[in-house]
A and B are shown apart, each in its own frame.
Chain A
Amino acid sequence: MNETILSVQDFRKVYGDFVAVDGIRFQVQRGEIFGLLGPNGAGKTSTLECLEGIRRPDGGALRILSVAPDREPRKLRNLIGVQLQTSGLPANMRVDEAMRFFCAYHGVAPRYDLLERLGLKEKQRSQFRELSTGQQRRLALALAAAHRPPVLILDEPTAGLDVNSRTELHTLMQELRDAGTSILLATHDMAEAEKMADRVAILLRGKIVATGSPRELTATGSGLTKVSVRTDQSVLHHNGAAFPGVQQHLIKEDYVIYYSTDPGPTVTALLDYLAVHNDKLVDLRVERPSLEERFLEITNTGGA
């Protein structure tokens, strides 16, 4: 089933003396959402721009379905759909014009169904500048997907969107993935990456410092599970009780938060302690570390 659609091998990009990307490698399979994560300046944009054929790589090999983006731009343009971070459309272009315009250059019929699907049917006669940020980003995704490319490159696709638009966009991305489209998703939004991506790579100072599924990445961190407790009389706030497996704890507003290597015995001991001290449990949450916490852990330690 695994079929490599996009391949990055020892890719390097240099601007003068500055090495933006230093020999990274990853592959994206058919029907996979691959998240590219990293702080600003990590090399995400350089990687995307070389894959989009906008810039030339200074080393290594980039391939999208065997096509080298910098050498075969004509072949590339029907293989990829790109949602840029910036608008990328003339301010006075109408929504339906944009759909006709880009579809004409790709040699396909306009996809008005996508506009309807993304809630833009009523806005077809509106000019781009008259759309809200959310509508502009939805239009950008509709245009990127309109020619049914096998690879979608999405740069911060849900930045600035409200909850409903974001959910709708995520649903569409999942549908496209299920239909076999490979999606390369560059995002700062760790919750989005954790929810949407099958695999992620974390870029730091031009190198990939971690790669794997979000679950794999979070499991390879410190391994501490977060146990948050809120009680009626807050006895945990005042008593320095020790619980099995707890490595550290902190107090945050009404909650006491324990970081445990062994959450089962920790929770059992906590409940026993509350019963002995006649305190009533109001809220108890047991959470594995999030991708965001793992990301911060990796970036704060410089990828070590």
Chain B
Amino acid sequence: MTAFAQHFVFEFKTGLRNPNQLLLNYLFPLGFYALMGLVMTQINPGFAETMVPAMVVFAIMASTILGLPSPLVESREAGIFRSYKINGVPALSILTIPMVTTIFHVLITSAIIVLTGPALFKGIAPIHWGAFALVALVTAFACGAFGALIGVISASSQATVLWSQLIFLPSMLIGGLMLPLSLLPKAIRPFSALLPTAHAMQAFMGLAYDQTTTLNPIVSLGVLLASGVLAFGLAIYLFNWDSRNQARRGHPLMALLALAPFVVSIFLQS
């Protein structure tokens, strides 16, 4: 097996072996999905229409934004990246492999949700399965890139929680997961457009379900892709093997540049 394959297999297994990652990859999103399926569909029958994509986006957020950054910070602080550098593990692999394996876990969780949602909770299956898979993949890539970027810029595990929650909590409240964007107050909508979940939900509903959307779903998909590429590029640029290394290539606040496509989308769609 090649070095990349060895690394990939190890990181994939870590997603199952590490209790925190197992929780965020599978137990938390699937538990939340079951809870929402049982309770929310009873309280709000309209929720069934968006339940499948909303729970897929939730699973993506849990695995990537909440789950991906901390192991990166912990590895850096424990000197694991120093050891990797000495032994020739490229920085690109250190960031890419955990991101890709997390996307694999997310795709498994998403498959469980999309295949069981209609049967268990009367959720709506996608009309266009290919578009659904594409949007899920692009969303997972964008959120994975943001997770990697948070891991790179955070000075400690506590800081990852802060940065992650800055994205996760607003996404839950105004990101279109629990309530469609069209039902949000107009003053709030520009802020929603700064969140990956809002664009993911618009892309899912517009492209995979043929629904009318508040934002242009093609533009939303483009915004997700562009921000993902930008976030991943910044993560590579700002990557630091060792927190004691004082020669940083850029200030951590440069990471905010990854939000540029979301800001542009507000003007494009206004």
Residues of chain A touching chain B, judged by Cβ–Cβ distance below 8 Å, are 15, 52-56, 73-74, 77-78, 80, 82, 84, 86-90, 92-93, 97, 100-102, 104-107, 127, 143
Rounded to whole angstroms, the CA-CA distance of A101 and B2 in the bound complex is 9
Contacts of B87 in A (CB 8 A): 77, 82, 102, 105-106, 143
Most chain A Cβ neighbours within 10 Å, of B6, B18, B83: B83
Q: Would A92 and B14 count as touching, CB distance under 8 A? A: yes
Rounded to whole angstroms, the CA-CA distance of A75 and B10 in the bound complex is 26
The 11 sampled A-B contact pairs (Cβ below 8 Å) are A54-B86, A54-B241, A77-B86, A86-B79, A86-B82, A89-B83, A90-B14, A92-B14, A93-B10, A104-B3, A143-B87
Q: Would B6 and A53 count as touching, CB distance under 8 A? A: no
Rounded to whole angstroms, the CA-CA distance of A105 and B88 in the bound complex is 6
Q: A54-B242, A106-B87 are in contact. Are A88 and B79 (CB under 8 A)?
A: yes
Q: Would B82 and A88 count as touching, CB distance under 8 A? A: yes
Most chain A Cβ neighbours within 10 Å, of B2, B10, B75, B87: B87
Which residues in window 44-77 of B have CB below 8 A to A? 75
B270 at the interface (CB under 8 A from A): no
Rounded to whole angstroms, the CA-CA distance of A286 and B80 in the bound complex is 47
Q: A104-B1, A104-B6 are in contact. Are A84 and B18 (CB under 8 A)?
A: no
Contacts of B82 in A (CB 8 A): 54, 84, 86, 88
Contacts of B83 in A (CB 8 A): 82, 84, 88-89
Smallest CB separation, B39 vs chain A (Å)? 35
Q: B14 — nearest CB in chain A belongs to which residue?
A: A92
Q: A73-B88, A93-B10 are in contact. List 8 more A-B contacts (CB 8 A).
A: A54-B82, A82-B83, A87-B79, A90-B10, A104-B1, A104-B5, A105-B87, A106-B87
B158 at the interface (CB under 8 A from A): no
Q: Would B6 and A101 count as touching, CB distance under 8 A? A: yes
Q: Would A89 and B14 count as touching, CB distance under 8 A? A: no
Q: B89 — nearest CB in chain A belongs to which residue?
A: A105
Q: A78 — nearest CB in chain B belongs to which residue?
A: B88
Rounded to whole angstroms, the CA-CA distance of A104 and B87 in the bound complex is 10
Q: A98 — nearest CB in chain B belongs to which residue?
A: B10
Contacts of A107 in B (CB 8 A): 3
Q: A53-B85, A54-B86, A54-B241 are in contact. Are A90 and B3 (CB under 8 A)?
A: no
Q: B88 — nearest CB in chain A belongs to which residue?
A: A77
Q: B79 — nearest CB in chain A belongs to which residue?
A: A86
Our pick among A15, A82, A101 for the contact of B86 (Cβ within 8 Å) is A82
Our pick among A54, A88, A105 for the contact of B80 (Cβ within 8 Å) is A88
Q: Would B3 and A80 count as touching, CB distance under 8 A? A: no
Smallest CB separation, A269 vs chain B (Å)? 57
Rounded to whole angstroms, the CA-CA distance of A82 and B245 in the bound complex is 19
Q: Lowest 9 CB-CB distances: which A-B pairs, in order? A: A88-B83, A86-B79, A104-B3, A77-B88, A104-B6, A105-B3, A92-B17, A105-B88, A82-B86
Smallest CB separation, B112 vs chain A (Å)? 24
Smallest CB separation, B20 vs chain A (Å)? 11
Q: Would A53 and B10 count as touching, CB distance under 8 A? A: no
Smallest CB separation, A91 vs chain B (Å)? 8
Contacts of A52 in B (CB 8 A): 86
Mark contacts of B225-247 with chain A using CB atoms, 8 A cut-off: 1 yes-contact digit, 0 otherwise. 00000000000000001100111
Smallest CB separation, A131 vs chain B (Å)? 15
Q: B6 — nearest CB in chain A belongs to which residue?
A: A104
B7 at the interface (CB under 8 A from A): yes
Q: Would B88 and A74 count as touching, CB distance under 8 A? A: yes
Q: B4 — nearest CB in chain A belongs to which residue?
A: A104
